[in-house]
């Protein structure tokens, strides 16, 4: 028996006992009302226990109220049957107490029972009264999920902004388990497994960070998660190893390569997002970064690389670096116009001039990507403005970020 069930039984008994003390005989209408109220409370506590991050969310949905009403109606109907047959008249407890208590507990047990269970595929389906209640509960769950999805997404993106998954994956859960003293070992193990699975997913680090935030939001709630992230932000927002490698790679590139890299990054952003003022802003910002090329020494070049990383993000720059490297390895005419096929097509056998180390899934030099990139042979047209330069003036041997996927 779970803690929630124990609480439900205790409240039912306390309510019925109070009724019997205050009004031993009780009027029929009052007893019906108390039975329905206790049954509704059972349904309410069950819904609340399913949404720890926002316990009152079910009360904002019609299916949630329907679930509560079904439980209350069942308890009232059970009391009517007991009252009709004048049961428990000779019991040790007052009759009103016995009737209300049995009605509430009996209806709770009846609507959670099944005659038998049928396995359909990978799902066990209960055949009996439980099927009705489960259908209403599932509808309430879906309604609550739809209601909370938008707010959760916005909230997590706000709280987890600038957090690096590389640091957060171990630091946040460890701190959360210490803050929350009542998290069971089973819950801790389940969350640890979910995070380990998330770490293996071939998606962008930013998406992993947001999903980690959603996992912890269900455990901690908004206020605790926000305060915890704010307290640990200096450690959580430190650049990852992959980002440091990207900055180092850009800082070592010739100025002309950096300019071409910015062109590619702006193009990639334009393909991934509908044309908007945001893409225009990125283009203008990229132009201002190009204007800073050749204006200082190593420190200024590193600062410029950091600004480029902050502007475009890790994933876009990884793709842009991979495309630039492949462009430098090919011999497609400089005047070739770029098309969607140039960026997204992937002919069998890969792009000409690309070694196995730089095949899809790796950047040149053996960099393993989080999400394999599969640019077409035509992508080698990107950055080929440098093709007019003599071979000795093409310093494209700059090593790419060796563990940029970290």
Q: Per-residue pLDDT tens for 248-263?
A: 888 889 988 999 999 8
Q: Both 53 and 114 in a single domain?
A: yes
Q: Both 26 and 99 in a single domain?
A: yes
Write out the residue range of the structural domain in which residue 41 sits.
3-132
Note whether residue 60 is domain-resident.
yes
Sign of the torsion formed by the C-alpha atoms of 332, 357, 197 and 54: negative
- Which residue, of 236, 269, 286, is where some domain finishes? 236
Pairing of strands 116-120, 123-127: antiparallel
Q: Both 200 and 291 in a single domain?
A: no
pLDDT of residue 379: 35
Note whether residue 164 is domain-resident.
yes
Residue 116 reports pLDDT greater than 80: no
Contacts of 215 (CB under 8 A, 6+ apart): 191, 194, 195, 198
Residue 147 reports pLDDT greater than 50: yes
Q: Both 302 and 381 in a single domain?
A: yes
pLDDT of residue 390: 46
In 3D space, the residue among 249, 165, 159, 235 whose CA is nearest the CA of residue 201 turns out to be 165
Which residues on neighbouring strands pair with residue 127, listed in sequence order? 116
pLDDT, mean of residues 379-405: 44
Rounded Cα distance, 75 and 381, in Å: 74
Per-residue pLDDT of 120-130, as tens digits, reads: 777 777 677 77
Note whether residue 319 is domain-resident.
yes
pLDDT of residue 383: 39
Note whether residue 152 is domain-resident.
no
- Give the residue with greater pLDDT, 109 vs 208: 208
Q: Both 220 and 248 in a single domain?
A: no
Per-residue pLDDT of 77-111, as tens digits, reads: 898 888 888 788 777 777 777 888 888 888 888 87
Note whether residue 405 is domain-resident.
no
Beta strands in 89-139 (DSSP E): 116-120, 123-127
Give how many domains the chain has, as a whole number: 3
Per-residue pLDDT of 319-376, as tens digits, reads: 888 888 888 876 444 444 444 344 334 444 443 333 334 333 333 333 333 433 333 3
Residue 401 reports pLDDT greater than 60: no
Most confident of 306-310, 343-347, 384-388: 306-310
pLDDT, mean of residues 281-293: 84
| Confidence label for 288 from pLDDT (cuts 50, 70 and 90) | confident
Judge residue 200's burial from the number of C-beta atoms within 10 Å of its C-beta, 0-12 exposed, 13-18 middle, 19 or more buried: exposed
Residue 406 reports pLDDT greater than 60: no
pLDDT, mean of residues 257-276: 81
Residue 17 reports pLDDT greater than 70: no
Residue 386 reports pLDDT greater than 60: no
Rounded Cα distance, 265 and 50, in Å: 44
| Confidence label for 10 from pLDDT (cuts 50, 70 and 90) | low
pLDDT of residue 9: 57
Residue 186 reports pLDDT greater than 60: yes
* pTM for this model (two decimals): 0.56
Min mean pLDDT across 14-28, 142-156, 199-213, 223-237 is at 14-28
- Which residue, of 203, 236, 269, is where some domain finishes? 236
Q: Both 216 and 248 in a single domain?
A: no
Q: Both 275 and 199 in a single domain?
A: no
pLDDT of residue 225: 92
Note whether residue 386 is domain-resident.
yes
User: Treating both helix axes as pointing N-terminal to C-terminal, what angle do 255-272 and 314-329 enclose, rounded to 10 degrees?
Assistant: 120
In 3D space, the residue among 37, 47, 38 whose CA is nearest the CA of residue 67 turns out to be 47
Q: What kind and span of H or E run contains 137?
A: helix 129-159
Sign of the torsion formed by the C-alpha atoms of 153, 156, 161 and 165: negative
Min mean pLDDT across 33-37, 49-53, 289-293 is at 49-53
Q: Both 249 and 385 in a single domain?
A: yes
- Give the residue with greater pLDDT, 118 vs 21: 118
In 3D space, the residue among 139, 142, 159, 146 whose CA is nearest the CA of residue 214 turns out to be 159
Q: Both 94 and 168 in a single domain?
A: no
pLDDT of residue 8: 60
pLDDT, mean of residues 29-55: 82
In 3D space, the residue among 382, 367, 365, 183 whose CA is nearest the CA of residue 268 turns out to be 382
The overall average pLDDT reported for the chain is 74
Note whether residue 337 is domain-resident.
yes
Note whether residue 138 is domain-resident.
no
Q: Centre a 10 Å sphere on the Cβ of residue 74 and count the other Cβ atoms it contains.
A: 26
Residue 396 reports pLDDT greater than 60: no
Q: Which residue is listed with tokens 């031993």?
A: 24
Q: Both 261 and 232 in a single domain?
A: no
pLDDT of residue 399: 46
- Give the residue with greater pLDDT, 362 vs 166: 166
Q: Both 202 and 283 in a single domain?
A: no
pLDDT, mean of residues 229-252: 87
pLDDT of residue 388: 46
| Confidence label for 242 from pLDDT (cuts 50, 70 and 90) | confident
């Amino acid at each position: 028996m779970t803690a929630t069930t124990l609480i439900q039984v205790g409240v039912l008994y306390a309510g019925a006992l109070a009724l019997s003390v205050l009004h031993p005989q009780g009027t029929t209408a009052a007893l019906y009302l108390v039975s329905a109220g206790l049954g509704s409370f059972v349904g309410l506590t069950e819904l609340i226990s399913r949404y720890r991050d926002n316990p009152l969310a079910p009360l904002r949905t019609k299916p949630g109220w329907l679930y509560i009403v079904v439980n209350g109606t069942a308890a009232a109907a059970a009391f009517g049957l007991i009252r009709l047959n004048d049961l428990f008249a000779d019991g040790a407890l007052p009759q009103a107490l016995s009737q209300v208590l049995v009605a509430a507990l009996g209806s709770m047990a009846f609507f959670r029972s099944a005659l038998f269970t049928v396995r359909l595929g990978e799902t066990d389906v209960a055949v009996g009264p439980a099927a009705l209640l489960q259908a209403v509960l599932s509808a309430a769950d879906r309604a609550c999920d739809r209601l909370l999805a938008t707010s959760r997404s916005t909230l997590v993106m706000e709280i987890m902004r600038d957090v690096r998954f590389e640091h957060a994956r171990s630091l946040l859960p460890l701190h959360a388990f210490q803050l929350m003293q009542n998290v069971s070992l089973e819950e801790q193990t389940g969350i640890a497994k979910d995070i380990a699975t998330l770490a293996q997913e071939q998606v962008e680090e930013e998406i992993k960070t947001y999903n980690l935030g959603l996992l912890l939001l269900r455990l901690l709630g908004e206020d605790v998660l926000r305060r915890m992230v704010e307290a640990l932000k200096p450690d959580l927002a430190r650049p990852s190893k992959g980002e440091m490698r990207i900055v180092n790679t850009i800082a070592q590139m010739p100025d002309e390569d950096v300019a071409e890299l910015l062109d590619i990054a702006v193009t990639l952003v334009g393909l991934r997002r509908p044309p908007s003022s945001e893409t225009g802003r990125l283009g203008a910002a990229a132009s201002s970064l190009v204007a800073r090329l050749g204006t200082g020494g190593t420190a200024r070049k590193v600062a410029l690389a950091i600004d480029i990383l902050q502007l475009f993000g890790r994933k876009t720059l990884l793709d842009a670096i991979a495309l630039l490297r492949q462009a430098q390895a090919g011999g497609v005419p400089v005047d070739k116009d770029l098309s969607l096929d140039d960026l997204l097509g992937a002919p069998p056998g890969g792009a000409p001039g690309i070694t196995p180390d730089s095949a899809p899934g790796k950047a040149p030099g053996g960099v393993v990507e989080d999400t394999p990139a599969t640019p077409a042979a035509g992508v080698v047209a990107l950055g080929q403005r440098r093709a007019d330069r003599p071979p000795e003036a093409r310093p494209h041997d700059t090593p790419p970020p060796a563990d940029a996927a970290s």
